[in-house]
Amino acid sequence: MTANHSEQALIADPSKPPEGSFTAAQHLGQTALKLFARKGYTATSVNEIVEAAGVTKPMLYYYFGSKEQLARKLVVEPLEKLTTRLKSFEFSEGDPTDREIDWLSAQLEFCKEDPDRARFVFALYFGPLGAELADAVAEYGQRAKQIIMNIAKNRSEFAQSTETWLNDYVRAIHGQMVSTAIEILYTDPNSPLWQVSAHDLAIRLITDIDHGYLNSVRGSG
């Protein structure tokens, strides 16, 4: 494999980022995401990543340090930013319905922004327990579910209801998020789910859950 101009610059002076390094790092990252999403993290080797990206190993190690650090950069850091966004809805003064919509919208946007990244996250989430990076993704999932729980607690419908009703309601929202995200990620980009914005889709889904599930809660009161 012949080194390009950026690689030659890196070899000549490893302490100096090569020209166009931001683009090169992005290219490496997106290539790795596609492979991780398709084959899984463990089954994807460094050799496969650099060969698919058309670069050399020194470039990957220069930008990311190791395969694990590359994966963490691609998945863990974005999930931490998403968690921060979700937390901003957790105890705000807005209407609980609007905050539930914001919670769901943020996660659907995460999927649409970078489908390969989201597919990799789901592969880790539903993959073998104890797998590398799986713990970080599982921790995110638990935190996200706790946030929607804290938001839903503020609904007047649950003021006099049992905790079982609340848990079932949160499970309904969480399940709708997961099933919709999977449908988005594994269907044709020209499908209806891709044509509607994440926010509008979240409004529709939360409204449907509200009209269906919460009417049962109100009727039981």
Name the token pair of 56: 């050399």
Give the amino acid at 185: L
Q: Would you state the pLDDT for residue 13?
A: 38
How high is the pLDDT of residue 24? 85
Structure confidence by residue, pLDDT tens digits, 32-51? 999 999 988 889 999 999 99
Q: Which of 36-40, 125-129, 194-198, 201-205 has the lowest mean pLDDT?
A: 125-129
Report pLDDT for 15.
Answer: 35
145: left (phi over 0), alpha (psi -120 to 50) or beta: alpha
Q: Are 106 and 148 in contact (CB under 8 A)?
A: no
Q: What angle do CA 207, 156, 178 make, to 5 degrees?
A: 40
Residue 199 has pLDDT above 90, yes or no: yes
What φ, ψ does residue 17 adopt, rounded to 5°? -60, 135
* Whole-number Å distance between alpha carbons of 74 and 29: 7
The pLDDT score that the predictor gives to residue 140 is 93
d(CA 95, CA 106): 17
Compare 58 and 16 and report the one with higher pLDDT. 58
Q: How confident is the model at residue 203 (pLDDT cuts 50, 70, 90)?
A: very high
Q: What string of DSSP letters covers 69-110?
A: HHHIIIIIHHHHHHHHHHHHHHS-SS-HHHHHHHHHHHHHHH
Contact predicate 201/179, CB 8 Å: no
What tokens appear for 190 in the block? 């020209």
For residues 201 and 219, what is the distance between their CA atoms, to the nearest angstrom?
27
Q: How many residues does the chain have?
A: 221
Quote the pLDDT of residue 101.
Answer: 97
**What are the tens digits of pLDDT across the range 117-170?**
999 999 888 877 667 788 889 999 999 999 999 999 998 888 777 788 899 999
Q: Say what the pLDDT of residue 220 is.
A: 52
CA 159 to chain centre: 32
Q: What is the residue type of 205?
A: L
Question: What per-residue confidence (pLDDT) applies to 159?
Answer: 78
Among 52-61, 94-103, 211-220, the least confident range? 211-220
In this predicted structure, what is the pLDDT of residue 128? 75
3-class SS of residue 4: coil
What's the Cα-to-Cα distance from 127 to each of 15, 33, 97, 108, rounded to whole Å? Answer: 38, 16, 32, 21
Each residue of 58-109: pLDDT tens digit?
999 999 999 999 999 999 999 999 999 999 999 888 899 999 999 999 999 9
Domains of the chain from N-terminus onward: 5-65 (1.10.10.60), 72-220 (1.10.357)
Tokens of 142: 């638990």
AA identity, residue 22: F
